Copies of this chain bind each other. A is one copy, B any other.
Amino acid sequence: MGYSTIFQGETRRLDILDMNGKVDRKAMPDIDQDQLMALYRSMRRMRTFDEKALKMQRQGRIGTYGSLRGQEAAQAGLAVHLSEDDDWLIQSFREHGILMARGVPMHTIYAYWKGDERGNLADRGIRCLPPSVPVGSQLLHATGIGIGLRKRGLPGIAVGFAGDGATSEGDFHEALNFAGVFRARTLFYIQNNGWAISVPFQKQTAAKTIAQRGHAYAVPAMQVDGNDVLAVYEASRIATDHIRNNHGPYLIEAETFRMGDHTTADDHTRYRSPDLVAHWAARDPIDRMRKFLIKEKILSHADDEAMGESLTAEIEAAVKDLESMPPPDPMSIFETMYAKKPWYLEEQQAMLRSELGSRAQESGS
């Protein structure tokens, strides 16, 4: 009687590699030099991809593009724990890093941003859903897939991605709640980059963290320094093990920062101060890993440069692949709406075909 305590909870955060390249040895994951180098290379590969995309957008060679600059650690550290054969990626729209790391050909990712539907589904297997633009809605698909994987007794897990803004949508709530109830094999992976376009996280919610929301659904959760690839690696290992061992869903909040504009249609200087951006630039995920690797003599300056050149070459090849794709077939608009095309789609397709035919004639072909 009187007052009693019916709930007590805490939420933890993990930091390993600091902005100066120093690591907390006690917390250091069990990981060898090759793996360290692979993480570093993976991040640099994302950065090179991203820089090229921004350049192509300015040149009009692709359309509106959403940069992931600054979020490379948050994506590279997770990707290594995911199996291409078993695990499902349920992406939002800023996970090109994860896709690349998981083996999706880069030219198809560029194609997506070029406005080419052939880029909509990664062609490396069906275990990657197309990007989901309606913010937050994909998290429920991640829950559903995670429930299905458990039901079928499959080894895979589902990873649902979203940003900090997405956690305000009702679907975030429903996705975590259903996952808790039905013990989905799902990792909810939230990249909290501090901003939903112009809205800072502090205005997104009165709560201090996203990770603490796990308590609302009895879903275990952890926050991690998302610019620290080692901490991301370790947190992801813990979370994916937890799920693979049938202990139910998990929530990770990777705290990071979007260094550039929301997309190329945005101008982040309207709502963010240069100081804030500089603060985060000093915490760049790639720089700090480089400092660490050099200090540890795992990486030399010469190797680093050579890596840059090989990545540039790889990306240029991807651009070539992109630009040698034949133009998309206008008829494809009609082909995949239904298993069997209704009569009115037949009519509409015939109309477009004849329009294109007469245009082709007019232009003398």
Contact = CB atoms under 8 A, between A and B. Distances in A.
Interface stretch (A81-89, A150-158, A212-220): A212-220
Chain A contact-residue range equals: 35 or more
A11 B215 CA distance: 11
Given A3-B14, A5-B10, A6-B209, 4 more contacts: A5-B12, A5-B13, A6-B12, A6-B211
B180 A170 contact: no
Contacts of A64: none
A14 B4 CA distance: 7
A243 interface: no
A351 interface: no
Nearest to A3: B12
Contact of A212 (B174, B177, B206, B215): B215
Contacts of A1: 15-16, 18, 24, 27
A173 to B, nearest CB: 3
A279 interface: no
* Interface of chain A: mostly helix, strand, loop or mixed: mixed
Interface string A6-26: 111111111110100000101
Interface string A163-200: 00000111111100100110000000000000000000
A204 interface: yes
B216 A215 contact: yes
Interface in A242-260: 248
B4 A12 contact: yes
Nearest to A207: B218
A270 interface: no
Interface in A1-59: 1-16, 18, 24, 26-27
Contact of A174 (B24, B170, B216): B170
Given A5-B11, A7-B10, A173-B170, A217 B223 contact: no
